Amino acid sequence: MKSRRKITIMASTLLVLSLAASAFVLHCTDKLRPQATLDEVLFISSPTLVKRASLGYDGLMACIYWTRAVQYFGYRHHYYAASYNLLAPLLEITTHLDPHLIVAYEFGSSFLAPKPPHGAGEPERAVALMKYGIENNPDNWHLYYDLGFVYYMELHDYKDAEETFERGTKVPNAHPFLKIFAAQMAQHAGEYQTARMLWSATYQTTQEKQIKQNAIDHLRALRVDEDVDHLQDAVTRFGERTGRLPANIWELVSAEGLPGIPLDPDGHPYKMTPQGRIELRDPDAFPFATKGLPVGYKRKYGGMN
Amino acid sequence: MNRRIAYIASNTFREAVRDRVLYNLIAFALLLSGAAILVGQISIEIEKLVVINLGLTAVSLFGVVIAIFIGIGLVSKEIEKRTLYTVLSRPVRRWEFIVGKFLGLAGTLVVNTFFMAIGVFLALFYVSHKFVKADALILIALYFIILEFLIVCSLSLLFSSFSSPLLSAVFAFSLFVVGSFAEDLRNFAGMAHGISRWLATAAAYLVPNLSAFNVISSIAHEQPVAGQLILHNTLYALFYATMALSGAVLIFEHRDLK
- Shared domain for A131 and A237, answered yes or no, is no
Among B44, B53, B221, whose Cβ lies nearest the Cβ of A100? B221
Contact A56 B45 (CB under 8 A): no
What is the arithmetic mean of pLDDT over A98-123? Answer: 86
Which of B128, B109, B110 has the alpha carbon at shortest distance from B51?
B128
How many residues does this entry show for chain A?
A: 305
**Does residue A69 lie in a domain region?**
yes
The CA distance from A275 to A128, in Å, is 45
DSSP A292: S
Among B44, B61, B181, whose Cβ lies nearest the Cβ of A210? B44
Among A56, A103, A210, whose Cβ lies nearest the Cβ of B180? A56
Name the least confident of A187-196, A240-249, B208-217, B249-258: A187-196
In this predicted structure, the answer to whether residue A85 has a pLDDT above a threshold of 50 is yes
SS3 state at A76: helix
The CA radius of gyration of chain A, in Å to the nearest whole number, is 26
- Shared domain for A186 and A259, answered yes or no, is no
- Shared domain for A99 and A69, answered yes or no, is yes
Query: Between these two residues, B142 and B26, which has the higher pLDDT value?
Result: B142
What is the arithmetic mean of pLDDT over A180-199? Answer: 73
What is the arithmetic mean of pLDDT over A252-268? Answer: 87
In this predicted structure, the answer to whether residue A233 has a pLDDT above a threshold of 60 is yes
- Shared domain for A226 and A132, answered yes or no, is no
Say if residues B108 and B15 touch (Cβ distance below 8 Å): no
N-terminal to C-terminal alpha carbon distance within chain B: 30
In this predicted structure, the answer to whether residue A305 has a pLDDT above a threshold of 70 is no
Long-range contacts of B172-176 (CB under 8 A, 24+ apart): B172/B68, B172/B71, B172/B72, B173/B68, B175/B207, B175/B208, B176/B64, B176/B68, B176/B152, B176/B208, B176/B210
DSSP A270: P
Query: Which range of residues forms the domain containing residue A100?
Result: 47-214
What is the arithmetic mean of pLDDT over A99-109? Answer: 88
- Shared domain for A209 and A266, answered yes or no, is no
Our CA-based measurement puts residue B209 at a distance from the nearest CA of chain A, in whole angstroms, of: 11
**Does residue A23 lie in a domain region?**
no
Query: Between these two residues, A1 and A199, which has the higher pLDDT value?
Result: A199
CA distances from B190 to A55, A113, B176, B194, B213 (A): 21, 40, 22, 11, 22
Residue A218 exposed, middle or buried by CB count within 10 Å (0-12, 13-18, 19+) = buried
- Shared domain for A210 and A220, answered yes or no, is no
Q: What's the pLDDT band for A188 if we cut at 50, 70, 90? A: low
A59 interfacial to chain B (CB closer than 8 Å): yes
By CA distance, what is B40's nearest residue in A?
A67
Within 61-80 of A, beta carbons closer than 8 Å to B belong to 62-63, 66-67, 70-71
Tell me what pLDDT residue B240 has: 93
Percent of chain A with pLDDT over 70: 90
Residues of chain A contacting B177 with CB distance shorter than 8 Å? 55
**Does residue A293 lie in a domain region?**
no
Our CA-based measurement puts residue B9 at a distance from the nearest CA of chain A, in whole angstroms, of: 31
Tell me what pLDDT residue B211 has: 85
Tell me what pLDDT residue A302 has: 45
Domain count, chain A: 2
Please state whether A114 falls in left (phi above 0), alpha (psi between -120 and 50) or beta.
beta
Among A55, A98, A210, whose Cβ lies nearest the Cβ of B180? A55
**Does residue A54 lie in a domain region?**
yes
Encode pLDDT of B44-87 as tens digits. 777 888 888 888 998 898 889 888 988 888 888 888 777 877 87
Encode pLDDT of A48-80 as tens digits. 888 888 888 888 889 888 988 888 888 777 776
| Amino acid, single-letter form, for residue A20 | A
Tell me what pLDDT residue A285 has: 86
Contact A57 B214 (CB under 8 A): yes
**Does residue A73 lie in a domain region?**
yes
The CA distance from A101 to A65, in Å, is 11
Query: Between these two residues, B182 and B251, which has the higher pLDDT value?
Result: B251
Name the range with the highest mean pLDDT among A127-136, B5-14, B57-66, B197-206.
A127-136
DSSP H helices, chain A, are 2-32, 47-53, 58-78, 87-97, 102-111, 123-136, 141-153, 158-169, 177-187, 191-205, 209-242, 249-256
Best of B45, B148, B219 to mutate (most A CBs within 10 Å, chain A): B45
Inter-chain contacts counted by CB atoms under 8 A, chains A and B: 64
Residues of chain B contacting A103 with CB distance shorter than 8 Å? 44-46
| Amino acid, single-letter form, for residue B232 | H
Among A59, A60, A207, whose Cβ lies nearest the Cβ of B45? A207
Boundary of a domain, candidates A173, A193, A214: A214
CA distances from A177 to A45, A146, A147, A169 (A): 38, 13, 15, 9
pTM above 0.95?
no
Tell me what pLDDT residue A259 has: 84
A58 interfacial to chain B (CB closer than 8 Å): yes
| Amino acid, single-letter form, for residue A270 | Y
In the predicted model, what is the mean pLDDT of chain A?
A: 83
- Shared domain for A230 and A201, answered yes or no, is no
By CA distance, what is A57's nearest residue in B?
B57
Name the least confident of A83-87, A241-245, B97-101, B225-229: A83-87
Tell me what pLDDT residue A303 has: 44
Encode pLDDT of B31-40 as tens digits. 877 777 777 6
Say if residues B120 and B51 touch (Cβ distance below 8 Å): yes
- Shared domain for A166 and A246, answered yes or no, is no
Q: Cα A121–A126–A131 angle (5° rounding)?
A: 165
Our CA-based measurement puts residue B237 at a distance from the nearest CA of chain A, in whole angstroms, of: 18
Contact B49 A59 (CB under 8 A): yes
CA within 13 Å, CB half, B145: 32
In this predicted structure, the answer to whether residue A40 has a pLDDT above a threshold of 70 is no
Name the least confident of A3-12, A100-109, B154-163, B243-252: A3-12
Q: Which residues contact B127 (CB under 8 A, 6 or more apart)?
A: B36, B40, B47, B48, B51
Per-residue burial over A70-84, b = 16 or more CB atoms within 10 Å of its CB, e = otherwise:
bebbeebbeebbeeb
Encode pLDDT of A5-38 as tens digits. 888 888 888 888 988 888 888 778 777 665 544 4
Our CA-based measurement puts residue A100 at a distance from the nearest CA of chain B, in whole angstroms, of: 7
Boundary of a domain, candidates A168, A188, A214: A214
What is the arithmetic mean of pLDDT over B110-126? Answer: 89
The CA distance from A134 to A54, in Å, is 24
- Shared domain for A98 and A169, answered yes or no, is yes
Say if residues B117 and B202 touch (Cβ distance below 8 Å): no
The CA distance from B189 to B199, in Å, is 8
Within 99-128 of A, beta carbons closer than 8 Å to B belong to 100-101, 103, 107
The CA distance from B53 to B220, in Å, is 7
Tell me what pLDDT residue B24 has: 75
In this predicted structure, the answer to whether residue B110 has a pLDDT above a threshold of 90 is yes
- Shared domain for A187 and A73, answered yes or no, is yes
Chain B residues with CB within 8 Å of chain A CB = 39, 42-46, 49-50, 52-54, 57, 60-61, 177, 180-181, 184, 210-211, 214, 216-218, 220-221, 223
Tell me what pLDDT residue B103 has: 93
**Does residue A249 lie in a domain region?**
yes
Our CA-based measurement puts residue A128 at a distance from the nearest CA of chain B, in whole angstroms, of: 22
Our CA-based measurement puts residue A57 at a distance from the nearest CA of chain B, in whole angstroms, of: 6
Among B46, B54, B217, whose Cβ lies nearest the Cβ of A66? B46
CA within 13 Å, CB half, A18: 6
Encode pLDDT of B129-145 as tens digits. 888 888 899 999 999 99
In this predicted structure, the answer to whether residue A299 has a pLDDT above a threshold of 70 is no
The CA distance from A45 to A92, in Å, is 9
Residue B68 exposed, middle or buried by CB count within 10 Å (0-12, 13-18, 19+) = buried
- Shared domain for A193 and A263, answered yes or no, is no
Per-residue burial over A233-243, b = 16 or more CB atoms within 10 Å of its CB, e = otherwise:
ebbeebeeeee
Among A67, A207, A210, whose Cβ lies nearest the Cβ of B42? A67
Encode pLDDT of B90-99 as tens digits. 887 888 889 9
- Shared domain for A66 and A170, answered yes or no, is yes
Residues of chain A contacting B184 with CB distance shorter than 8 Å? 52
A210 interfacial to chain B (CB closer than 8 Å): yes
Tell me what pLDDT residue A1 has: 57
